[in-house]
Chains A and B, each alone.
Chain A
Amino acid sequence: MDILFPILTVGILGIFLGVIIGIVAKVFAVDIDERIEQVEEMLPGANCGGCGFAGCADFAKGVVAGKATPAGCPVCSPEDVVAISEYLGIAAEEKEKMVALVRCSGDIPNTVRSLYNGVRDCRSAVLVAGGAKGCDYGCLGFGSCAEACPFGAIEIRNGLAVVHKELCVGCENCVAACPKNLITMVPASAATHVYCNSPEKGAVKRKVCKTACIACRKCVKASGEEDYMEIDGFLVRSNYENPPPASLVEAAGCPTSALRVDTEHIKGAYGGASK
């Protein structure tokens, strides 16, 4: 019989509190737009911040509120964008996929000038004599960008950052991480790039790097009528409005192999050797 009293007390207290919770939940109910949850579910959930919002949940809120479009998410595939747009009943925007490009081809056998034994981090290394590479503008190769990449798309190979295009979603986290401002966003459809970012004169660049662009303009000439390449001082760049085809590399015969096809660059096919 002793057990009855506690059971009754706790039981009654439980019912009483349950009623209070029920009332409070009704009176102070917060309206949640279920679409936000649904959109968040449809987003990749990488929380990379590439959209400019604080994370996927915040972005979902923004999309539902009309502050952003589904295409603002760099990680979503075009199908995902269409799915979210259809769910919300808005017109799906077409977006061009952008990927990161490290505009440098100076790896360890190519451009290293001194021994560096400090903090293994680009933003620290740049404070010591501008890094261990001979070129003031080159990739330092300690992987600050790789660390910043939430998708593991950047690999440091031979002291040079290379982007695995298929893994890159274009969140631009790496762009801000590079102390040399080497990383730029280019359309994923473009395959041919100039892997050099030094604005110095050709002779100066060649002293420190075998694969620097010396602005000989062979690639510009090989483009013929087509406006594939842009000249910027002592540097030539791909014109991403009208990107050069992979065949241009063969046709131009770049003497320093700064002009490369990205798939071959990642394989290490050019090997830093100049013709």
Chain B
Amino acid sequence: MSEKPRKFKGGVHPNDSKALSAHKAIQEAPLYGTYKVIMHQNIGAPPELLVKKGDAVKKGSLLCKASGFVSVPLHAPTSGTVKMIDKVPGPTGISVPCIVIEADGEDEWGCPFEPIADWQKTDPAELKQRVWDAGIVGMGGAGFPAHVKLSPPEDKPVDKLILNGAECEPYLTADHRLMLEQAEEVVLGAAILARILGLETAVIGVEDNKPDAIQALEKVAGKYNIEVVSLPVNYPQGAEKQLIYAITGREVPVGKLPSDVGCVVQNVASAVAVAEAVVKGIPSIERITTVTGKPLNDPGNWKLRIGTPIDEVLKLTGGIKEQPAKLLLGGPMMGIAQSSLDVTVMKNTSGVLLIAKDEVSLYTSEPCIRCGRCVDCCPMQILPATISQAVENNRFDWAERLNVMACIECGSCSYSCPSHRPLNQQFKRAKVEIRAGLRK
């Protein structure tokens, strides 16, 4: 990197609590009896169901096929029989359809595609098709189909591929361990992604609180001409727009995509999934998840199949030593609180976090004291305090004029507010209302 990474405006420094699981090597979870695979795991159209009750499936065989361009197929996490099409609580709490697979314990392989060994000579279009066929979505949390990001519009040429290894979210160490233990695959995935985009090189951005991961990546990065950039610790460093600014200095305008400034950002876990799909012919059926929190006996990083029930995941860590107050899927800043243990691991479940009773409190929201902390820390440089007033008065038109749509829902404003105002939730609401208004 010729130039130093820039510091984006704003951001907060929450206690990262990564020490709980950062030193724990990735372990493979045992096979379970039943997997509940949520059907709609990607942003975009839900995929089309291909199996029915009683069908025998093999590990990696197709359960659903893509129903459009912004949709990805879904593969069976293990071999067994489809017991039924049931409903489980989705990550947002609303029940969603899932495919219940009763494992036969054989874990017999039955993948619909073959490995591509000489990917360096393969047509990029074929590689992209493989990324789509493997059902790879953004594994950082959003679940955006990877092949869509790899298909920038023709009038917007992409000249920069950035791999997101920032992992700025507190507690989560899954990407950290992945970069440390599977550095070669990360770099290989980066090289394949670069080939699909017709680029020579790629940049991996890692926050500098992971020096061992940076070292491991730098050791192997030269093989494919990949650059590793150490970024200053600042939440939300891993947000797409902030990462692009830090590395390239380009600002993505409100309502635009990274491709508008010639960038494509992929998570490092997605890159590993791409490498495995191309070189080994493995579809996206497992991911590395941090299972952590103070109430757990043995927090760690686990390789979990999609569809693994969360209560089984918690058992992996030797159970709990105290009754937790909260269960989150994802990290403490952007993760979603759960009300049931019936939720299952999805392609974008980066963390399962338990929060102890002494780490949370019930706050009452007080009036805004106009201290301006939220304005200072907002990485998108909007005015949370003012927008909050607009939302409280149901003035969504006003909120829209104040650019609430630029909000990335990172939660920095709510985190820094001394009056404990539910700013992030208000902005989520405003965005929903404004989008609903646009649809009319």
Which residues from chain A contact B339 at a C-beta distance below 8 Å?
A: 113-114, 129, 132
- Check A129/B429 contact, CB under 8 A, given A113-B339, A118-B422: no
B428/A136 in contact, CB under 8 A: no
* A62 at the binding interface (Cβ < 8 Å): no
Interface residues of A in 121-147 (CB under 8 A from B): 121, 123-124, 127-132, 136
Least CB distance from A194 to B in Å reads 21
Query: Bound state CA distance, A218 and B151, in angstroms?
Result: 58
Contacts of A117 in B (CB 8 A): 362-363
A119 to B429, CA, bound (A): 10
User: Which residues on B sit within 8 Å (CB–CB) of A119?
Assistant: 365, 422, 425-426, 429
Contacts of A127 in B (CB 8 A): 92, 425, 428-429, 432
Contacts of B87 in A (CB 8 A): 200, 204
**B110 CB, nearest partner CB in chain A, Å:** 33
B362 engages A128 (CB within 8 Å):
no
**Chain B residues with CB under 8 A of A130:** 92-94
Chain B residues lying within 8 Å of A128, measured Cβ to Cβ, are 93, 336-337, 425
Within 8 A of B (CB), among A16-62: none
How many chain B residues touch A (Cβ–Cβ < 8 Å)? Answer: 20
Main secondary structure of the interface of A (DSSP, over half): loop
- Closest Cβ–Cβ distance, residue B413 to chain A (whole Å): 14
Q: Measured between alpha carbons, how far is A121 from B425 in the docked complex, in Å?
A: 11
- B93, B337, B365: most-surrounded residue (chain A CB, <10 A): B93
Say how far B150's CB is from chain A's closest CB, in angstroms: 31
Provide the residues of chain B in CB contact with A132, threshold 8 Å: 339
Contact A136 B425 (CB under 8 A): no
> Are A123 and B93 in contact, with the CB atoms below 8 A?
no
Chain A residues contacting B426 (CB-CB under 8 Å) are: 119, 124
Contact with A along B86-115 (1 / 0, CB 8 A): 010000111100000000000000000000
Chain B interfacial positions (CB closer than 8 Å to A) = 87, 92-95, 336-340, 362-363, 365, 422, 425-426, 428-429, 432-433
Known: A121-B429, A131-B93, A136-B94. 12 other contacts (CB 8 A): A119-B426, A124-B422, A124-B425, A127-B92, A127-B425, A128-B336, A128-B337, A129-B92, A129-B338, A130-B94, A200-B87, A200-B95
Please provide the 6 A-B residue pairs with the shortest distance between their CB atoms, ordered closest to farther.
A129-B93, A130-B93, A114-B339, A124-B429, A130-B94, A119-B422
